[in-house]
Structure 1
Amino acid sequence: MKKTNLLVLTILSILSLTFYSCDKEDQETNTVDQELLVANGQIDFSNELDFNLGLDVATENNSYSSRTENTQMSFPQCANLSVNDPTPGVFPKIFTIDFGTSCLDNGILRSGIITITFDDYFTNYGSKMTIERTNYYVNGRKIEGTVVYENQTTDSQVPKWTRTVTNGKLITITGNEFTFSGTRTVQQTAGVSTLTLGDNIYEVLSGTHTVNRPNGTSLTVTVVEPLIKKYACNYISQGQLDLQGSFLDGILDYGDNTCDNQASYTHSNGVVYTISL
């Protein structure tokens, strides 16, 4: 009798462990790390915002190309701009943009300092634009790291750059930290022949980023449909990213080319999440 009871208890224990294991796996499959999801979107937003800033200072100060015609730009009027040597054609050009403690422009609140260095005209093959951040905040989130754009243009009508991010860090408003790095390829698809920045459109063609938490959870982000970034819009307006991580497995979609701060994430189980950048 004791042997029978022992056998029954053993079988029940095994079944219990099996059901628990399956339940746990189902929970993990259905769990989405929404904080990491939003952090990834905010990182992309900040990188693209700083790219616009680089275009602004390069164009206004004749570091974009050897053309000297006047162009239109949207440099934040509440920021202070200085340069190491204003002489046209002399490089490196090192621009320091100081947003002070509070600079609100076009709905974006920034503070701190960004340094942008050009070693040649931005449109020349092999030239580099290096962006560095010092105590820099965007909408209350601290952004760190170095971003380098290296010109890889082979067709003058389609300017192209590789963008490499190193030592990136995002600290959220609540104090949570995320590190990030990676390389992407960017090309200009509109506005090449005009003298204004307003009609410029850029595409992020390919590349992979990683985003990590200090506790070890990570995310790999790969471009699967080119990201569309208009100079005239603060946000990525179209394109898709494949997100693969501990609790993320799906597609982030930036929409139908409408200029807004919204994106949607579709998890592998079909559940859709809306995120604000």
Structure 2
Amino acid sequence: MAEPTVHDVASSSESGPPPEDVLIELRDLHKAFGENEVLKGISLSVEAGTTAVVMGGSGSGKSVLIKHIVQLLRPDRGEVWVMGRRVDQLEGDDLDALRLQIGYLFQSGALFDSMTVFENMDFILERHTDLTPAERRDRIEETLAWINLRDKAPSYPAELSGGQKKRIGLARAIILEPRILLYDEPTTGLDPVSVRTVSELIVRLRDERGITSVAITHDLLCADIITDRAHFLYDGRFLASGTLDDLRRSDVPELREFFGI
């Protein structure tokens, strides 16, 4: 078995967009908050139609990394490329247009408590599309049916289980039919049955819709189901990248501790 590799991008110093089949590429990403250097030269490449999973302990920089993809943060040094665009240099309408092609499932689900499930989803469509009310209703009903929660349209978030909230959050993240999805701990706090349900929906989005994804998680059951390529982040650097089995079989002490070996 080949050892897991440390770098995914051949040369983080090269300029210009990545190949067309690479939808997300981070090049030599550095980010610090004051004297705390969180990312220390991260390079990552994600091919179209695949799911990359970033794992690591608390404080390793996972959430900071994923926020750069939608420019919720800008790097101190390095480049962020998404769908052929240099995201860290985009502003205004160009940045807004790119963000509409990226869905984001937050750890909390990020539903508005004062709105029903239907209203949560309709709010996004009314704000960002020219669809008629009837067209918006059809899309919402189709999306809720796809996650098998069509009957929850009139419910408020407080009336949903944790697993249902995550699935509704996922439905809202895909309502604009994005090309890319970002998952921030998509199964945190869920029981094993709900973890499997949410994880299998993530796989279906890849397989049925060709969605490209980056997920950050410490949930090994979720990672086992959704991962195409795994990356282990430790102290601001990738210690290893490869298949999940590659990482499990690694002799790197930090990886062995993470997997409980």
Does TM, scored on the shorter chain, surpass 0.5? no
Q: RCO (CA 8 Å, sep 6+): is it higher in 1 or 2?
A: 2
- Structure number with larger C-alpha Rg: 1
Report the TM-score, using the length of structure 2 for normalisation: 0.28
Report the TM-score, using the length of structure 1 for normalisation: 0.27
Which one has a larger percent strand, Structure 1 or Structure 2? 1
Which one has a larger percent helix, Structure 1 or Structure 2? 2
